[in-house]
Amino acid sequence: MPLSTRPATPADREKVLALVPRLRSFGEPPLKRPLESLDAAERRALEGAFDAPGSATVLLVAGEREDDVLGVALAEEESDYFTSERHGHLAILAVAAEAEGRGVGRALVRAVEEWSSRRGHRYLSLNVFANNSRAIRFYEDVGFVPDTVRYVKAPGRS
Ligand X SMILES: CC(C)(COP(=O)(O)OP(=O)(O)OC[C@H]1O[C@@H](n2cnc3c(N)ncnc32)[C@H](O)[C@@H]1OP(=O)(O)O)[C@@H](O)C(=O)NCCC(=O)NCCS
Residues making contact with ligand X (CB under 6 A): 22-23, 25-26, 93-95, 100-106, 128, 132, 134-135, 137-138, 141
Least distance in angstroms from the C-beta of 23 to ligand X: 5
DSSP code, position 48: H
* CB nearer ligand X, residue 120 or residue 143: 143
* CB nearer ligand X, residue 86 or residue 106: 106
* CB nearer ligand X, residue 10 or residue 143: 143
* CB nearer ligand X, residue 44 or residue 137: 137
Least distance in angstroms from the C-beta of 131 to ligand X: 11
Count of CB atoms situated within 10 Å of the CB of 142: 13
Do 3 and 62 meet the contact criterion of CB atoms below 8 Å apart? Answer: yes
Helices (H), the chain: 13-17, 35-51, 104-118, 133-141
Q: Which residue is nearest to ligand X (CB)?
A: 105
Do 113 and 125 meet the contact criterion of CB atoms below 8 Å apart? Answer: no
Least distance in angstroms from the C-beta of 108 to ligand X: 8
* CB nearer ligand X, residue 77 or residue 100: 100
C-alpha separations of 25 from 40, 68, 128 in Å:
15, 21, 13
Do 10 and 50 meet the contact criterion of CB atoms below 8 Å apart? Answer: yes
